[in-house]
Chains A and B, each alone.
Chain A
Amino acid sequence: MTHNALLLKTIMTFIIAALLVLSIILWKQTPDLFEYFNQAFCAH
């Protein structure tokens, strides 16, 4: 693997890991998300 490829792979890994952590934080801050979905699609 060339230096450039390794660098790109490392950057991509960091970006994906950061986005994953951000997503989990967002999900933890929206416990009522399910309620929205339920009201939207299954009002019973």
Chain B
Amino acid sequence: MTKTGNQFSQPLIYMLIGSAIILALSLGVRHGFGLYLVPMSHEFGWGQHVFSLAIAMQNLIWGVVQPFTGAIADKYGSKIVVAIGGLLYTLGLLLMAFSSSILILNLSLGLIIGLALSATSFTVLLSAVGRAAPPEKRSMAMGIASAAGSFGQFIMLPSTLLLLKTVGWSAALMVSALLIALIIPLALMLKGSSNQTPKAIAQPQLTFKQVLNIARKHKPFWWLALGFLVCGFQVVFLGVHLPGYLIDHGFDAATGTVFLALVGLFNVVGTYGAGWLGDRFSKPKLLMALYGSRGIAIIAFLLLPLSTYTVYAFGVIMGLLWLSTVPLTNGIVANMFGVKYLSMLSGIVFFTHQVGSFFGGWLGGVNHDLTGNYNAIWLCSIALSILGVIVHFFVNEEAVIHDA
């Protein structure tokens, strides 16, 4: 099978399958961590802050080390980085399964799994896919891999809960460790370092420092990073605090579960669709439309009479807009700077996403504690949508560094 017309080449398909399964496993298991809070806290008599701190530490470490893990993947290859990440993830889960002290929990769930996630999630995997795909199919390829990550989250959340209720939290973590161990052999399906891509011969021989310097001075890169901060803020605020908002307004657990399922399901459709659209239309304009639509959806959700139907409709719309920013944002970085240092540069952009995530999660709780409602943080989310539209107006995806 050769690459003809709108088909992917066989090596790319092979690599996409590997990346898709790795992302589905890595992000799927990670999405279920919140479910362990209650059983573990009950068993060891911890306050909820203990587990929350480990989760917060995980997200912070993931964001901070991501540019460095990306740089290592650029230099030594995604294959080795993902394999080591898979090994760390497995060890982290096993250690967490046997943890009975706060120190071990922070070491496993916080530090080790945080490091592992930086090696087995979007930044490294999408960069590997971006390197393997021809520029005209890059966004679509990234969209497929991202959709697989979203699908992993959709399927692993109820699976984790069923497992947890059937065999208990410790055995559930050991089963998760077994699943994550599959990442190690799957990493063999990935390509080597950026130096091993055929295009590298034609690439200008810029050093790591030179590229970093170019990126530092390129304003659209920083506008893009700021836009991704908005994404992190909104997604984590809604993911963490919307259940509380619905409870405050008298909804039952079943409605909330359907809402979470709708977000998960339509997130798969949204990320795939965004990748497809990204190869056909301007990615910055698509991101402007996406952030604008998020703002409109939030305003409509707050203004319309709250009912089961509006909750479900909001779930569908936010699902479509959830991680659809990922293939578009990474695709823009690839178009701007080429693929040689894509993992490192995407890692910098991802760091701002994690900063936004931190504030979205934290400020939502602060707002509720101080006022008993989420009004200020809803307004903040709407204002950030407007900011998201504005900043992407200044982003252009023109190449600063050419691949060939």
Q: Write the residues of chain A forming the contact surface with B, with a CB cutoff of 8 angstroms.
A: 1-2, 4-5, 8, 16, 19, 22-23, 26-27, 29-44
Query: Are B260 and A37 neighbours in the complex by a CB distance under 8 Å?
Result: yes
Complex Cα–Cα for A36 and B368 (A): 19
Q: Is the interface of A mostly helix, strand, loop or mixed?
A: helix
Complex Cα–Cα for A38 and B242 (A): 9
Q: Which residues of A contact B243 (CB under 8 A)?
A: 34, 37-38, 41-42
CB distance from A44 to the nearest CB of B (A): 6
Complex Cα–Cα for A16 and B21 (A): 12
Complex Cα–Cα for A26 and B161 (A): 9
Chain B, interface size category, equals 20 to 34
CB distance from A18 to the nearest CB of B (A): 11
CB distance from A23 to the nearest CB of B (A): 4
Known: A26-B155, A41-B241. A34 touches B162 (CB 8 A): no
Interface residue? B201 (CB, 8 A): no
Q: Which residues of A contact B155 (CB under 8 A)?
A: 19, 22-23, 26
Interface residue? B296 (CB, 8 A): no
Query: Are B7 and A36 neighbours in the complex by a CB distance under 8 Å?
Result: no
Q: Which residues of B contact A22 (CB under 8 A)?
A: 155
Known: A33-B158, A33-B161, A33-B260. A5 touches B34 (CB 8 A): no
Query: Are A36 and B159 neighbours in the complex by a CB distance under 8 Å?
Result: no
Query: Are A27 and B257 neighbours in the complex by a CB distance under 8 Å?
Result: yes
Chain A to chain B contacts (Cβ below 8 Å), 29 pairs: A1-B7, A4-B1, A5-B1, A8-B1, A22-B155, A26-B159, A27-B158, A27-B257, A27-B261, A31-B254, A31-B257, A33-B158, A33-B260, A34-B253, A34-B257, A34-B259, A34-B260, A36-B34, A36-B38, A37-B256, A38-B253, A38-B256, A40-B35, A41-B240, A42-B243, A42-B244, A42-B368, A44-B247, A44-B248
